[in-house]
Amino acid sequence: MMSDLLLAYSEAHTTPEPPVLAGLNRETHLSQVYPQMLSGHLQGALLRMFCQMIRPERVLEIGTFTGYSAIAMGLGMTSPPAFAGMPSPGTLAGMPSPGALAGMPSPGALAGMPSPRTLAGMPSPPTPLPQERGGVLLHTVEVNRELEDGIRKFIHEAGLEDRIVLHIGEALEIIPLLNEVWDLVFIDADKPNYLNYYNMVLPLIRPGGFIIADNVLWDGKVTGDPAKMDKDTRGIVEFNKFVHQDERVENLILPVRDGLMVIRKI
Residue 81 pLDDT exceeds 80: no
In a domain, 203, yes or no: yes
Residue 106 pLDDT exceeds 90: no
In a domain, 229, yes or no: yes
In a domain, 103, yes or no: no
Residue 115 pLDDT? 44
Residue 2 pLDDT? 77
C-alpha–C-alpha distance, residues 194 and 232, integer Å: 10
The amino acid at residue 177 is L
Residue 23 pLDDT exceeds 80: yes
In a domain, 17, yes or no: yes
Could you tell me which residues come within 8 angstroms of residue 185 by beta carbon, excluding any fewer than 6 positions away?
Answer: 59, 60, 61, 62, 201, 205, 209, 210, 211, 212
Strands 249-254, 260-265: parallel, antiparallel or unpaired by DSSP? antiparallel
Compute and round to an integer the Cα radius of gyration of the chain.
22
Per the structure, the count of domains in the chain is: 1
Domain of 183 in residue numbering reads as 4-80+129-265
* pLDDT (mean) for 171-186: 98
Output the domain CATH number for residue 211.
3.40.50.150
C-alpha–C-alpha distance, residues 237 and 213, integer Å: 12
Q: pLDDT category, 82, cuts 50, 70, 90?
A: very low
- The 10s digit of each residue's pLDDT in 44-67 is 999 999 999 999 999 999 999 999
Is the full-model pTM beyond 0.85? Answer: no
Measured on CA atoms in the order 45, 47, 49, 55, is the torsion positive or negative?
Answer: negative
In a domain, 133, yes or no: yes
In a domain, 91, yes or no: no
In a domain, 211, yes or no: yes
Residue 97 pLDDT exceeds 60: no
- The 10s digit of each residue's pLDDT in 209-248 is 999 999 999 999 999 999 999 999 999 999 999 999 999 9
Residue 104 pLDDT exceeds 90: no
Torsion of CA 85, 87, 88, 91, to 10 degrees: 170
In a domain, 86, yes or no: no
Nearest to 47 by CA among 24, 71, 25, 67: 71
